[in-house]
Amino acid sequence: MPRPILYLLFLTLIFTACHQREQQTFVSLKVYKEYDSTRNFDTTSKSKNIYRPVRIDVFYPSTEKPLQASLTYGNLVDMYEQRFNYNTPIDACKKTSLDMATAFAGYFHVDAATKFLQYKTGINENLSFPQKQYPLVIYAASMNGSSWENAVLFDSLASHGYIVAAVSSVGKFPGFMSDAVDVNEQVQDILYTIQFMKNLPFIDGDDIGIASWSMGGTSAAKAAMLTKEIKCMLSFDGTDIHAYGDDTAWDREYNQIRAIPPYSPQSIDIPYMYLRSEHPKKVDSIYNTQALASSKDKYFLKFANAIHEDFSSLPVVAKQVQPSIPGVRTKYYGDISKLTLLFFDEYLKKEGDKNVGAYIDQLVTSDTAHYSSVGPKY
Cα(283)–Cα(243) distance, integer angstroms: 6
- DSSP H helix total and E strand total for the chain: 12, 10
Instruction: Report yes or no on 324 lying in a domain.
Output: yes
pLDDT above 60 (res 2): no
Strands 163-167 and 203-213: unpaired
Q: What CATH number should be reported for the domain holding residue 361?
A: 3.40.50.1820
Which of the pair, 228 or 50, is modelled with greater confidence? 228
Instruction: Report yes or no on 305 lying in a domain.
Output: yes
> Comparing C-alpha atoms, which of 141, 143, 213, 170 is closest to residue 36?
170
Evaluate if pTM is beyond 0.85: yes
Q: Mean of the per-residue pLDDT values for the chain? A: 89
Which of the pair, 4 or 370, is modelled with greater confidence? 370
Cα(142)–Cα(320) distance, integer angstroms: 23
Give the tens place of pLDDT for each residue, 277-334: 987 666 655 666 777 778 889 999 999 999 999 999 999 999 999 999 998 888 899 9
Q: Which residue range forms the structural domain that includes residue 359? A: 25-372
Q: Please give the tally of structural domains in the chain.
A: 1
pLDDT reported for residue 175: 77
Instruction: Report yes or no on 303 lying in a domain.
Output: yes
CA distances (Å), origin 278, targets 283, 331, 339, 377: 11, 16, 18, 17
pLDDT above 50 (res 7): no
Instruction: Report yes or no on 17 lying in a domain.
Output: no
77 three-class SS? helix
pLDDT above 50 (res 6): no
Give the tens place of pLDDT for each residue, 138-197: 999 999 999 999 999 999 999 999 999 999 878 777 778 888 888 999 999 999 999 999
